[in-house]
Chains A and B, each alone.
Chain A
């Protein structure tokens, strides 16, 4: 866990993420969902401020905890885990599909907004993280003379979180396997089951750099409770 690269073979990133991210979420879906119910303040604000009738995406929606915030907009939510997508499906008036962030099933240049909360840090190489951001930006409506372009809110886990129970900070290893402990599944006194998920912990200004590399423009960014966030837009329609 302290070695420089924990991704064993760069050719095999798909298979690596399948085993160390996707399969884990499939297995922990219900337990994970029962611990995730409250939207984070900046996510809530971003969604609440949207104009009624806006159309957007929630990429990596998990159990759909952010789908309840605003019922005056329409969100097409997606997750890589079928089990999580099933849970998220309950949120009206929105809709949920199963999709991969690197190949989103949406047309170009259509959406007023997108959110991707705690998702991009699960991609195992810099190139894949930038591709994921580029894929989200592609779906956003470009700005015109009369209307502003679509905006995407992106959240990633921060390396700098020395006050959290994990205690990581600047200078620590950024690529990590993080345990998920599921207690008492079979019976109350049974051994807890431990699953490991891959994470890339973002350091200060790294998210902004990834957005710029993806061809985006950073409108705003900051730090909220162990996470880095940024609001991105595409600078114009021609460069995408």
Chain B
């Protein structure tokens, strides 16, 4: 699972949606893998306005990556190749292949296996 994906995932439990702590989900016991992908600066420039930067910073920090800038790269900064290549590596090439995603509200843990997170809930949580 690409790190970019985590920016668009929240707890699947209905009652958690109203709680701010159900997003972003927190990685636990994450096994990371770098999977190379063609560098696509325009794709990144286009999706960056849609990224929740705070959520991304939190997750990157929890996974032990060097601290991301306080403010989201915008405008001219998004023409800087180093910035774009760093974002490409972090968002699109960095994958969590095994581990868990945990809800900060209810504590439920979703398993990630072979790069696929499973959000099916046990019947008592549906």
Interface presence of A41 (CB below 8 A): no
Q: Which of B40, B43, B45, B110 has the most CB of A within 10 A?
A: B43
Contact A103/B37 with A53-B47, A97-B1 known, Cβ cut-off 8 Å: no
Tell me, yes or no, whether A89 is within 8 Å of chain B by CB.
yes
* Complex partner residue of B120 from A95, A99, A110, CB under 8 angstroms: A99
A55 with B47: CB separation less than 8 A: yes
CB-based nearest B residue for A57? B8
Known A14-B126, A106-B10; contact A53-B5, beta-carbon cutoff 8 A: no
Q: Tell me if A196 is interfacial: C-beta within 8 Å of chain B.
A: no
Q: Determine the residue in chain A with the shortest Cβ distance to B49.
A: A53
CB-CB under 8 A from B50, the residues of chain A are 53-55, 74, 112
Chain A contact surface mostly:
loop
A184 within 8 A of B: no
A97 vs B4: C-alpha distance when bound (angstroms): 13
Contact of B4 among A86, A95, A102 (CB under 8 A): A95
Q: Does the CB pair A93–B37 fall under 8 Å? A: yes
- The stretch of B11-19, B26-34, B65-73 in contact with A is B11-19
Kindly identify which residue among B37, B45, B47, B110 contacts A74, using a CB–CB cutoff of 8 Å.
B47
Complexed CA–CA distance, A56 and B19 (Å): 22
Which residue of the partner chain, among A82, A100, A102, A106, contacts B8 with CB atoms under 8 Å?
Answer: A106
**Chain A residues with CB under 8 A of B1:** 95, 97
Q: What would 12 A/B residue contacts be, using CB atoms closer than 8 Å?
A: A53-B43, A72-B46, A82-B116, A89-B115, A97-B9, A97-B116, A105-B10, A105-B11, A107-B17, A107-B22, A108-B17, A110-B8
Top 8 closest pairs, chain A to chain B, by CB: A53-B46, A105-B119, A95-B5, A105-B12, A99-B119, A107-B10, A98-B118, A103-B12
